[in-house]
């Protein structure tokens, strides 16, 4: 009976387990990692947490890389918009009835 009491005192609180599962299911990997580490502090041999830990870390790394890539694309889009505005000026002159001068520039 004493062993059971000792085991209960070191098991992860149900709330933390629930938050961990919820975070994984909603793809909130930052909180999932936090809860996973908490579970491993309570239960270092918890197989589920041990298996999820490297997967969550990998997902977080991919998210960071994706965000960095997204920001670099936004910078490229800003540069491209200048070129696009210049191109739009040429096309708008062709639509406004000045098709001969437009065609003479590109033919």
Tens-place pLDDT, residues 32-58: 999 999 999 999 999 999 999 999 999
| Selection from 5, 16, 12 nearest residue 44 by Cα | 12
Q: Give start and end residues of each alpha helix (H) in the chain.
A: 2-10, 14-25, 29-42, 47-95, 99-106
Q: Which two tokens stand for residue 64?
A: 């960071």
pLDDT higher than threshold 90 for residue 3: no
Task: Kindly state the tokens that stand for 15.
Answer: 């709330």
Structural domain total, the chain: 1
> What is the predicted pLDDT for the residue at 77?
60
Rounding to the nearest 10 degrees, give the CA dihedral for residues 84, 85, 86, 92.
110
Please report which confidence band the pLDDT of residue 9 belongs to, taking 50, 70 and 90 as the band edges: low
Range of the structural domain that residue 58 is part of: 2-106
Average the pLDDT over 12-39 and give the result. 97
Give the confidence band of 80 by pLDDT, cuts at 50, 70, 90: low
Nearest to 47 by CA among 12, 71, 81, 78: 12
Q: How far is CA 37 from the centre of its chain?
A: 20
Note the pLDDT of residue 74.
Answer: 63
- Tell me what the pLDDT averaged over the chain comes to: 75
Q: Return the pLDDT at 76.
A: 61
Identify the band that residue 78 occupies on the pLDDT scale cut at 50, 70 and 90. low
């Amino acid at each position: 009976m004493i062993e059971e009491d000792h085991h209960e005192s070191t098991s992860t609180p149900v709330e933390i387990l629930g938050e961990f599962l919820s975070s994984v299911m909603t793809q909130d990997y930052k909180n999932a990692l936090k809860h996973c580490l908490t579970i491993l502090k309570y239960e270092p041999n918890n197989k589920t947490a041990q298996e999820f830990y490297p997967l969550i870390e990998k997902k977080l790394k991919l998210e960071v890389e994706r965000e960095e890539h997204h920001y670099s694309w936004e910078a490229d889009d800003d540069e491209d918009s200048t070129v696009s505005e210049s191109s739009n000026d040429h096309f708008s002159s062709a639509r406004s009835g000045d098709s001969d001068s437009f065609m003479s520039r590109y033919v």
